Amino acid sequence: MNRINPLYIALLLVVVFVFVSLKLDSVQFELADIKDEYKKKASLTYKVSGLQSAYRNKKEIEKSINLLLRFPAVKSIETKIKRDSILLSSKSIDKNVLNLLMGRLLNRTYNIHSLKIERLSETRVCFKMEIKC
């Protein structure tokens, strides 16, 4: 009885092989899931960095707003540039001019923090807008 039967050793090796194979399969599935998560996070990071570069470039925002405000129709708009925002306001502006301005502002990538428009008369409005930089 001092000798170990070779069939027991072969059976032990088969059991170890099956256990290792099952463990390897589960690790491969985990690796595939982690790769998928990595791809999703990488694409999300790329999108966020693109949005951040579009919304956080203060010099470009100031430059494009100054270009918009050079039109003669929108000369009555007051601008105040703060450290982290730009305030646009007018106490009385024609609604068609405001429509033109809003069309150009809303078609660009600005982080509009607040917008307040009040109707003064049939053709005049008062507005205040804060754009974060």
Q: What is the pTM of this model?
A: 0.58
| Same domain membership, residue 49 and residue 64 | no
Question: 22 and 45: one domain?
Answer: yes
- Report whether 90 contacts 78 (CB < 8 A): yes
pLDDT for 1: 52
Rounded to 5 degrees, what are φ and ψ at 30? -65, -40
**Model confidence pLDDT, tens digit, residues 21-40:** 999 999 999 999 999 999 99
Q: Answer yes or no: do 120 and 79 share one domain.
A: yes
Are residues 65 and 112 part of one domain?
A: yes
Q: d(Cα 56, Cα 8) in Å, to the nearest integer?
A: 70
Instruction: Show the domain range for 2.
Output: 1-55
Query: 48 and 71 in one domain?
Result: no
Q: Are residues 43 and 62 in the same domain?
A: no
Strand positions, DSSP E, 13-133: 78-81, 85-94, 111-119, 124-132
Cα(91)–Cα(118) distance, integer angstroms: 9
Sign of dihedral through CA atoms 62, 65, 71, 74? negative
- Predicted confidence band of residue 112 (pLDDT cuts 50, 70, 90): confident
* 73 and 113 together in one domain: yes
Is the same domain home to 93 and 108? yes
Q: For the chain, what is the domain count? A: 2
